[in-house]
Amino acid sequence: MGASAGGFKAFSAIVAALPPGLSLPLLLVQHLHQDDNGAFALHLAAASKLPLIEPCDKAEIKPGNVYIAPAGYHLLVEQGGTIALSTEEKVNWSRPSIDVLFESAARLWGERVMAIIMTGASSDGTVGIQSIKASGGLTIAQRPDTAEYPFMPQAAIDSGAVDEVLTIEEIIARISSLRLTDND
């Protein structure tokens, strides 16, 4: 999942509503100021019933955990089900970048990944959504009229690569309905 401006409110609503024991991992990218020092993750963790982790490089991705990209690092997924953190160039003026996470997830998980783009004032996430869609994954955008900043979800929708346009409540229900299989 990715968000920018207005993301704390959207992510808080989602992690607060998801039940403990969720059978899949969630990876979040929020555009953060480089001096965040973990404050965003700490405040979001207070709203979550799930373990919320600001991961280290090479951390194992486990079902039921919420991983949030640390400030100043791109968050990627890599072979073996681990997280990679990168300080490579900013993408869409951002590090972490939503596109970077989504593109790595498309390469690794293909049709087994769901990408959600929410509130924000940039187009970060649109290229990643297109990668997820091309790999056969499920793509979702927050309904722009319910987003605090509608530009980011609208850019994804306008790309033609979004399967579903949902409210935050519908996104929560969609995530809650998913289950990992033995092949995931």
Query: How far is it, in rounded angstroms, from Cα 15 to Cα 104?
Result: 23
The encoded tokens of residue 36 equal 């965040």
* Annotated catalytic residue within 94, 99, 124, 159: 124
- Residue 124 a catalytic site member: yes
43 is catalytic: no
Pick the catalytic residue from 4, 97, 131, 135.
Answer: 4
DSSP letters of the chain?
-EE-TTHHHHHHHHHHHSPTT-SS-EEEEE---TT-TTHHHHHHHHH-SS-EE-PPTTPBP-TT-EEEPPTT-EEEEETTTEEEEE-PPPBTTBSS-HHHHHHHHHHHHGGG-EEEE-S-SS-TTHHHHHHHHHTT-EEEEE-GGGSSS-HHHHHHHHTT--SEEE-HHHHHHHHHH----TT-
4 given a catalytic annotation: yes
Active site positions, annotated: 4, 31, 124
